[in-house]
Structure 1
Amino acid sequence: MPQIDARTLKAQLNKGELSNLYYIFGQNIPDVEKLTKYIIKAAVGDNEEFALNRLEGRYLDFSELYDMIQMMPMMSEYNCILINDYNCEKPRENMAGLKAEDINKKLIEAIKDIPPHTLVIFNVTGFEIAVKTDFRTKKNTIKDRNKKLADFAEKNGVLIECPVKTESELAKDIAASVSARGSLISLDNARELAEMCQNDTLAIRNEIDKLCSYAGKNEITRDILNNFVHRQSDATIFKLADAVAALNKRMAFEALDELMQDKNNRGAVLASISNSFIDMYRAACARKKGKQINDVKEDFSYILDFKVKNAFRDSSRMSIKRLRKCITILRDTNMLLNFSRSDEKTILEQCITKMLMTKN
């Protein structure tokens, strides 16, 4: 069966059409978990205690798994097995003396002949699978060793990817989720919440719980967001890069102060700033050659659209020569942090000052 999306899967489950093998992955972890629950519910109903076996991928015993697959179901139509976070790149916690290819072959052998009364689900919630996007078909292809297991599932069962949603899609989901809890939020504020959480669906879900508990039946306003939601550090990095591009000294140092509070490792702060300016440099060079956002995303294997969009936006106000100067300043600052005993915050403030003094 070809790869399907979440909507198609739900339609199949509602019709009672179940496969014997599922592989569910993607950056949208809550959707991965949600679809897993849908499948389990369709297979065993309320009999999870007797009919569902939960296994951790890194501790699989393949002979035990094979026997479990052959077992007859108890008090349910299906014998259901959930295998969480099997990573073909590192299938064992301790890989000393072991080869990933050999272990993966044993797994494929164990699930090669799944009987009609057994349903096996692989889901990935604890690590990121590397994918490459075909921007013509909008389809993602797995690039690492996990592709072999995913391809096997696609050929012999069902393969489902749960990609990160756009801010507009997330805004609608946020508004619906807030409404279901009895509170209100405008679409503009919902988009702001998505941006503050960097489209991280797990972070958004946690923030919604907190905001609804505070707001009750009232509206979640922009002031409430600013007072109660911690803006993710990546968003602050973008804010800093934008401030340097616009020569906005006040906003630049406010962003730096936020970063210094969030990070104990000042080297990590500098690395994040450097990565942002490298993104902008790539975007500026791409624009000069007539390339688009999708070209940069594909060429440099970016996963999230907003990082490339922000880089294109912020770099439009900076010449390539100025970006090179800023990257040179960041390189020199990194060397100074590594070899100087001076106060780290002072060094970073001097770095920002030098970048603000560069000209197009």
Structure 2
Amino acid sequence: MPQKDPKTVKSELKKGELQNLYYIFGKNIPDVEKLTKQIIRAAVGDNEEFALNKLEGRYLDTSELYDMIQMMPMMSEYNCILINDYNCEKPRENMAGLRAEDLNKKLIDVLKDIPHQTIVIFNVTGFEINAKTDFKTGKSIIKDKNKKLADLAAKIGALVECPIKTENELAKEIAASVSARGALISLDRARELAEMCQSDTLTIRNEIDKLCAYVGSGEITADTLHNLVHRQSDVTFFKLADAVAAFNKKSAFEALDELMQDKDNRGAVLANITGSFIDMYRAVCARRCGKQIQDVKENFAYVWDFKVKNAFRDSSRMSVRRLRECISILRDTNIALNSGGGDEKTILEQTVTKMLMTKN
């Protein structure tokens, strides 16, 4: 079967048509999570406690998965298995003595014969798949090792991409979301909000909550947007933190240059960089204590899953000692920015240089 779009899958679900294998990916993480929940609900209804098994991709045991796939459903028509963030590039948290190709082959062999009573869902929310756009079809073509798993889903089930929506599509959704909260926003202002947030749905949702809390039952005007919404950069703070973790000088300074384009919010740049490193420090400490993503999310009241997942992924390349050194450097930078009259860009460039010089 060819790659499907989320609307087609939702239409099939309404008709009661389910596939035995789904692979859901894309840059629109909220839509990936939303579609996953809709498939699960169509499969098991309110019986998730008995009929749904949730597995983390980095700890996936193919023998255990095979046994789960062969199980008969309990109190439901289907036995449903959700596997989050299985990365064929690095299938295990610890790859010592293991080859990705061998692990991926075992997994694909297990998935080739899924019985009719079982539905297996792979979704990707915590890492980015290397893909290129086919300009003829507008769909993404996966280029890395995840392609084999995605191709299998396309052949025997459903391969679904949830791409970032256009500003016009987002504008309609923004207007509807604002209206549901009792406030007003014009389509022009909604398009402007989408553009300011670089069409990032996670950021847009957060900004809508903030704007609606501010205006109450009033209207979100151009002045409201300009006063309350920080225009986002194409390069995220996560990418800068990831570049430092990987000792990638070129990517780190490219990210910083992009972030520093916003001259009115350079203090916010440091605050967000610091926040990313604190997230990673929490993640690496949690891993050492045997804690998982959900534990960190609950203990520190994170709203977004992706922040914690990014922190777990990026912190795997940094020691506790190096993270502590980086946070100390960021602390000293904050003192320097608040107490001196030095050039902010120069100070931040020196900060990134110092962090890149730290060692694991």
Deviations 1:136-159 (A, max 9, x none): 222210011111100000001011
Unaligned runs of at least 5 residues, structure 2: 237-259, 274-339, 348-360
Q: Is the 8 A contact 1:260 1:345 kept in 2?
A: no
Partner in structure 2 of residue 263 of structure 1: 270
Partner in structure 2 of residue 111 of structure 1: 111
Deviations 1:90-135 (A, max 9, x none): 1111122221111111111221211111000000111111111121
**Superposed counterparts of 1:1-360, under 5 Å:** 1-234=1-234, 255-263=262-270, 346=343, 348=345
Q: Tell me the matched-pair count.
A: 265
How far apart are residue 226 of structure 1 and its match?
Answer: 2.5
How far apart are residue 234 of structure 1 and its match?
Answer: 3.9
SS in 2 for 1:208: helix
SS in 1 for 2:77: coil
Identity of counterpart residues, as a percentage? 73
Counterparts of 1:117 and 1:44, CA distance in 2: 11
Deviations 1:282-312 (A, max 9, x none): xxxxxxxxxxxxxxxxxxxxxxxxxxxxxxx
Q: Which has the larger radius of gyration?
A: 1
Q: Moved runs in structure 1, 4+ residues, more than 6 A?
A: none
Q: Is the 8 A contact 1:58 1:92 kept in 2?
A: yes
Unaligned runs of at least 5 residues, structure 1: 237-252, 267-342, 351-360
Q: Is the 8 A contact 2:77 2:117 kept in 1?
A: yes
Q: Is the 8 A contact 2:266 2:344 kept in 1?
A: no
Deviations 1:225-255 (A, max 9, x none): 223223224499xxxxxxxxxxxxxxxx993
Counterparts of 1:149 and 1:83, CA distance in 2: 13
The amino acid that maps onto 2:8 is T
With the length of structure 2 as denominator, give the TM-score of the two structures: 0.67
| Coordinate RMSD, CA, aligned | 3.1
Counterparts of 1:69 and 1:35, CA distance in 2: 21
Q: Is the 8 A contact 1:198 1:235 kept in 2?
A: no
Counterparts of 2:234 and 2:29, CA distance in 1: 19
Counterparts of 1:44 and 1:265, CA distance in 2: 40
How far apart are residue 181 of structure 1 and its match?
Answer: 2.0
